[in-house]
Structure 1
């Protein structure tokens, strides 16, 4: 298993590089100019110097190579310096000084990070600042969806064609069919405008320091979490039901029942473990998928997360920000596939990779 995991991680490197190249080329072909938002009063020669400062005058392969160096060499150096200089986890190590920031005080070679064309700030700093908001909403939505979908799928399979199963099928069809850009405004109209229960805008500056502030935080998270959890719950519960139905017909289930094992043990020990093998793929691939859904949800509820940053960067033609965020999403998908393959062997002893 360890050998297989290492081999998959090594093979994922050229895959990610190829994905990065495709993303870069597509962004090069996309319409839009970062100088379009510059005021018309700026002279053309000043605009040209601004374009050269952003690296837009270089050939595409030079720009791509510079992004690779900045992303996979300079940014790790910045991260290592932060770990040894400022973090509480590894702050006891000797301070490193790998990264040399560029500036007027630097005389000699320096390291330029991936800079956002829109904000003129390092892209990774912006992502790190916005990531906690996304993880709070997306992470909670995923946990809620998982703990709701698994019991629904198990009970729907055990009580096939019952009223509960039919109601679950109807609700999951709605969850599959209705996109977040519809459910988001619908929940705002119902729960914010008419009922006034929850705020329509997510306040990212809110600080939780007592019980009342915790209640406020909980109220503003309910609607975006509901929107994201709806689709994931529908997906996981349907796959859980189908997998349970398939395993309930197997010979080992009849054998376990013939031995006199309690029905609860048959379902939750034997059938559930084998059924989770098929569900693992859905659960693992839903993680990057729900980040994609958060792009629209964050825009609807004004959550200051990475999804909202991606939409803003697309409107501003901020290629470094768009390139970095889309590559992060691609990285999540590749890693989710590797994790799913490894979990197959954990759940099913018959599966061997070595």
Structure 2
């Protein structure tokens, strides 16, 4: 397992380099100019100096190399300096946002907690709800509980976040007045009362995201459980006199979790895409809103960094899913 993990980590390096090149070229070839929002009264020579200050006058391969060095070498040093108080990154040039003229990673680090409050909580809640629903729906196939779970899953799949988000705002915020319609990102949790306020403003965005995730995971869990409940080893376990709880929750569940692990692991980066829409609806000042603002402002360094972070998450959680296969299924051996 250790050798497999090391091989996959080494293979991830050229994979990420290729992905970074694709992202860079796509954004470079995309239409638009960061100087388009500069007022027309600014003289052309001033605009040209501004372009040079942003690094736009350099050749494409030079800008790509600088971005790679900054992302893979300089920014990790900045993170180490921040954690341990060292000075490895002093004097190094960092990736600068064209829009704010601030280091890109500093802005990303400021926004990540807001996204994790919503996305992380929604994913944990969805897993805790979806897995029991999928297990019981498969065990009681075609029961009223199974039929109701199928109906709710269809709604979760069919309703997009931009509609369900507005719907819950109208119901729970405008009509009932239970929760705030706008997420206050400046709110600080320092006591019980402030925690209750934070919990109230999180309920609606978490509800919207968790509905989608629960619908997907519960269906995968149900299908995987149904496939294993009809296997020969289940009949053998029952014939040996094992209790029904042991058969279902120990033998069947462990084998059924193998394909579900893939969905859970790969869904963590994917849910950030759904969070982009949800953050716009509820005004959550997180990664999603930062990406939308950077696209609108044609801030290429910010867009490149955020999209590459999503790619890193996908590669990382692919590796985590593969490692978990070997833990869940003793038949899988990588070494």
Give the equivalent residue in structure 2 for 1:55: 55
Match of 2:285 among 295, 299, 304: 304
CA distance in 1, matches of 2:272, 2:320: 17
The yes-or-no answer on 1:125 pairing with 2:115 is no
- Residues 1:314 and 2:304 are matched in the alignment: no
Q: Counterpart in 2 of 1:93? A: none
Task: Please tell me whether residue 183 in structure 1 is matched to residue 164 in structure 2.
Answer: yes
Tell me the residue number matched to 1:104: none
Aligned to 1:98: 88
Deviations 1:32-87 (A, max 9, x none): 211112122211100100001111111211111110011111112212222221xx
Aligned to 2:21: 21
CA distance in 2, matches of 1:84, 1:8: 29
Shift of 1:170: 1.1
Q: 1:142: Cα distance to partner?
A: 0.5
Tell me, which stretches of 5 or more residues in structure 1 are unaligned?
A: 86-95, 102-110
CA RMSD of aligned residues (A): 0.9
- Spell out, residue by residue over 1:243-296, the C-alpha distance to the aligned partner (whole angstroms, 9 max, x if none): 000000001100111111111111100100000011000000110011111111
Counterpart for residue 8 of structure 2: 8
Q: Per-residue displacement from partner, 1:105-131 (whole Å, max 9, x unpaired)?
A: xxxxxx210000000000000000111
Q: How does 1:1-354 map to 2 (within 5 A)?
A: 1-85=1-85, 96-101=86-91, 111-354=92-335
SS in 2 for 1:278: helix
**Which segment drifts farther, 154-163 or 68-77?**
68-77
Q: CA deviation at 1:208?
A: 1.7
Deviation digits for residues 7-48 of structure 1, max 9, x if unmatched? Answer: 001001101110011011110121221111212221110010
Q: Structure 1: which 4+ aligned runs deviate by more than 4 Å? A: none
Gaps of 5+ in 2: none
Given the two structures, how large is their TM-score scaled by the length of structure 2? 0.98
Number of aligned positions between the proteins: 335
Distance 1:53 1:199 in 2: 43
